[in-house]
A and B are shown apart, each in its own frame.
Chain A
Amino acid sequence: MGRLTAWVDRRFPFSVLVRTSMTEYYAPKNFNFWYFFGSLALLVFATQIISGILLLAHYQPSAKAAFNSVQSIMYDVKWGWLVRYIHTTGASLFFVVIYLHMLRGYLYGSFKRPRELLWLIGVALYVCLMGEAYFGYVLPFGNMSYWGGQVITSIIAAIPYVGGWLASVLRGSFGVGTPTLTRFVAFHAVLLPALLAVLILTHLLALHEVGSNNPDGVEIREHLDARGQPVDGIPFHPYYTVKDMFGVGVFLVVFCAIVFYAPTFHGLFIETYNFSPANPLKTPPEITPAWYLAPYYAMLRAVPNKAVGIGILFAAIIAPFLLPWLDHNPVKSSRYRPVYRWMVIVFVLTLVALGWIGMQPAIPALLPPARILLALYFLFFLSLPIVSRLEPTRPVPERISAS
């Protein structure tokens, strides 16, 4: 083992990488519950890649065969049901994990200097993940897949000037059919996973360059010991690898409980209307998006004008990118910013409420609350430059507070 490592090390910086990113990567000693979700996202990415490759071994991307090939995965392929349920559950839990991971960033100001680029890469990852989920959603070609494919490509068609061309390039046809499925497979199984993998690596490289933030939002690298290591830091390995393994254990219990006992999760993870094949002549009675995109759908429906609605949708997705430059308060953590903390809580509740409305049938009674919530969503971003300059803050400890 020692000789092999030495042989490799002369040709590749293996030991250096292990040291700088694991055994001598010093992370703040006060990581809490919210710090499980980065490693869990990495775990779900890996299970999605593995289960996805196995599904691809049986899936047939054509309008005639796609639905039946998925049914044959469920009934004819050995363990096919398990592989597919791992993939569908993984898709939804990927978003659960990513949303909690992002909320951690909002709570502790992890997007602030010097972590702006880390945050930008992270939001880019989230946008790519939305694309990845959308392309995957269309592939089984159930009736919800079909109409979801129709609706999103027609949203893209509404982009000024290039929209029509972009939609036809996406669809590869006048409607959503075999040419759409073949290129969606290329996007879902090659383009976006490769992009995600590169962005994840970049995200990790940026993280290890600037170091992890922490619940107190103080920089541990400002207090070094005699060896030049942060006093309030502990090596990522073994301390946080063991902590993350505990998180993985709890996560897998939840994951398996869903896979084995509630794989459709009451129509949230696999929608009921997707159990019938795509039918271009029959729209499902209620078109609702996947739960993780429902807030955006609610925003889209809240605006009576098509072009403006689509503009709002893009603005809602772009807004988090601007966060590092909207927030001017030097204090990072919401622990010491009571006003900002309440803003984040209201922001999260707004998103949950928008998500709920997005999954309801389009009834007029829900229009006023949807518009109020839409305003609240943007109010968070628009008020931040002012609030962050005026809000009172509690004294921030010099070092990580004893606990």
Chain B
Amino acid sequence: MDRLSSRDAMTAQPLLPANAGRRRFLTLATALLGAVGTAYVIVPLVESLEPDASVKAAAATTVALSPIEPGMQVTVPWQSKPLIVVHRTPEMLATLQAVETLLRDPNCEVPQQPPECKNRFRSLKPQWLVMVRVCTHLCCTPLYEPRKGSVGPRWLGGFHCPCHGSLYDLSGRVFKGVPAPRNMAIPLYHFSEDEKQVAVTAMYPESKLC
């Protein structure tokens, strides 16, 4: 037998086995079932990489409110970020309306805060500002400058970022004409029943830091 005829003998063998359709269906069904099973196994394996319970437990923090005098602030580390709680006086709250024409987003249309904080005070209770003190420009920590005229002659009080000069009002709303694009983020929080503590639980999912 020469080479050519032996090749003919090979190609003369039937290419498809009997019941080719059934075989293909069974192979596909097996592969599909295997894929579903594999997906079920992968879910717990990938989820095991998520932050564990101890990390999540450390993710919430409570801040005592009684030591914070009117006009004062407390900044605590929370989820590796500075969290500021400001006790605002009625005079400070009055400045919020006065600066509104100078603000980029005075009505808080960008979801940088939970819906219940979408107001001029950006808070659940007007006197308490609870905010992530991270500049939305490049993640610096803005300085708290409550005194009138401390940053500029017409300054009514707010936050001043030392890195690139971004300015925010006393609700963390950003001014026009500065590098920062958005208001600073307000996290999800709630007050204890006696209003002596505030519990900060998580970032508002739609808000962006920097």
Where the two chains meet, the residues of A that have a C-beta atom closer than 8 Å to any C-beta of B are 50-51, 54, 57-58, 72, 75-80, 82-83, 226-227
Contacts and interface: CB of A to CB of B under 8 A. Distances in A.
Nearest to B10: A227
24 contacts: A50-B45, A51-B45, A54-B49, A57-B48, A57-B49, A58-B52, A72-B53, A72-B54, A75-B53, A76-B53, A76-B54, A77-B52, A77-B53, A78-B44, A78-B47, A78-B48, A79-B44, A79-B48, A80-B48, A80-B52, A83-B48, A226-B1, A226-B6, A227-B10
A51 B44 CA distance: 11
Contact of A76 (B6, B10, B45, B52): B52
Contacts of A227: 6, 10
A57 B51 CA distance: 11
Contacts of A82: 44, 48
Interface string B146-178: 000000000000000000000000000000000
Contacts of B10: 227
Nearest to A55: B48
A50 B1 CA distance: 53
Contacts of A54: 45, 48-49
B50 interface: yes
Interface in B46-98: 47-50, 52-54
Question: Which of B10, B45, B54 is most buried by chain A, counting CB atoms within 10 A of its CB?
Answer: B45
Nearest to A252: B37
Interface of B: 1, 6, 10, 44-45, 47-50, 52-54
B147 to A, nearest CB: 46
A83 B45 contact: yes
A77 B50 CA distance: 8
B50 A78 contact: yes
B20 to A, nearest CB: 14
Contacts of B48: 54, 57-58, 77-80, 82-83
B52 A78 contact: yes
A226 B53 CA distance: 66
Contacts of A75: 53
Nearest to B6: A226
Nearest to B44: A79
A227 B3 CA distance: 11
Given A78-B52, A79-B48, 11 more contacts: A50-B45, A54-B45, A58-B52, A72-B54, A75-B53, A78-B44, A78-B47, A79-B44, A80-B48, A82-B44, A227-B10
A37 B175 CA distance: 70
Nearest to A58: B52
Contacts of A77: 48, 52-53
B39 to A, nearest CB: 15
Contacts of B50: 78
Nearest 6 Cβ contacts at the A-B interface = A79-B44, A76-B53, A76-B52, A77-B52, A79-B48, A78-B47
A114 to B, nearest CB: 29
A51 B49 CA distance: 11
Contacts of A58: 48, 52
A51 B48 CA distance: 10
